[in-house]
Structure 1
Amino acid sequence: MNDLDLFTPAPGIPEVRLTLLAVPSTVALARELVRYALTNWGFDREVISDSALVMSEIVTNAVAAARDQQIRLRCALNEGAPLLECWDPSPELPTRCPEYLMAENGRGLALISAYAKEAGTRPSSTGEGKIVWAQMPA
């Protein structure tokens, strides 16, 4: 079960954060977070849809890496475009699997690369875990 902790820094600051438990149902909540934020920030339907897809792939990887642990999502604006981030406590980086057209798993990083302007990983500032991020086109 998820314990929702929604954080918005201050009115007018385009950033929303959410701390959730890394379980499969979290993926749907991550999509809704992105839809909520980007709709309120005035983005068009295509950017919202693409961003929700990318965040769901990022969070799916976090759920696999840190099952039943807390993860932190962040949706913000960077130079007028959506920036999507997910922290998880696992130091293991996501890896790209061979792509098979009919595969149900292993296509997440390929989808992220196809829709994001730029994407990557970085260590957490605390030294614990990693942040997987995607900068979307505006």
Structure 2
Amino acid sequence: MTTSPRQERRSALPLPLADQTVLSFRFTPSPRGARLARRLACCQMDAWGRHHGTPAHDAVELILAELANNAVTHGRVPGRDAELRLSREDGGGVRVEVSDARGERLPETRDAGTGEEGGRGLLLVAALAKEWGTAPRPGAPGKTVWAVVPAEPVRG
């Protein structure tokens, strides 16, 4: 019995499982890749019992959307993937990490009152996360932008 390429690709994706503590997934640095990363993270949150509409699920979804969008917009290097890592922390929190290949381009936040475009999405990340920051990408060139969503996310 043979399988179609579509079935083979689908089976290669990480499965959201309730008993796993980490979901790690490489995605193409494109809008489509960012959407897939966000969707997989939402499925993993559901598997962990944090369903759509709950504060933790929605905070992770918004934070991941911003970080993945930044990775594909500002961190893209042709031929290099971005990476999502979602992990449960002790106490019920969730750590969201998005890595890209551009270590020299660190994220910048801008005040809402400035006339410049961009940079305001990180204000949302800061409002929803207990803490966030950047670190060198482990084992590869680039950087990782991370955020920790507490069991009950901070609402500003």
TM-score band by shorter chain is: 0.7 to 0.9
The 3-state SS of whatever aligns with 2:124 is helix
| C-alpha distance in 1 between matches for 2:95 and 2:30 | 23
Indicate the RMSD between aligned Cα atoms, in angstroms: 2.5
* TM-score normalised over the length of structure 1: 0.84
Matched, 1:73 2:84: yes
CA shift, 1:61, in A, is 1.0
Mark the structure with the bigger radius of gyration. 2
| C-alpha distance in 2 between matches for 1:29 and 1:115 | 22
| C-alpha distance in 1 between matches for 2:114 and 2:62 | 18
Identity of aligned residues (%): 30
| C-alpha distance in 2 between matches for 1:40 and 1:32 | 12
Within the candidate set 32, 40, 43, 2:47 is matched to 40
| C-alpha distance in 2 between matches for 1:117 and 1:32 | 22
Where does structure 1 lack aligned partners over 5 or more consecutive residues?
none
* TM-score normalised over the length of structure 2: 0.75
Match of 1:120 in 2: 133
Matched, 1:84 2:96: yes
Matched, 1:129 2:142: yes
| Structure 1 runs of 4+ with >4 Å offset | 100-104
CA shift, 1:56, in A, is 0.5
The 3-state SS of whatever aligns with 2:55 is helix
The 3-state SS of whatever aligns with 1:57 is helix
CA shift, 1:103, in A, is 7.9
- The superposition leaves residues 58-106 of structure 1 with CA deviations (integer Å, 9 ceiling, x where unpaired) of 1111112233431010111011211100111111211113424998732
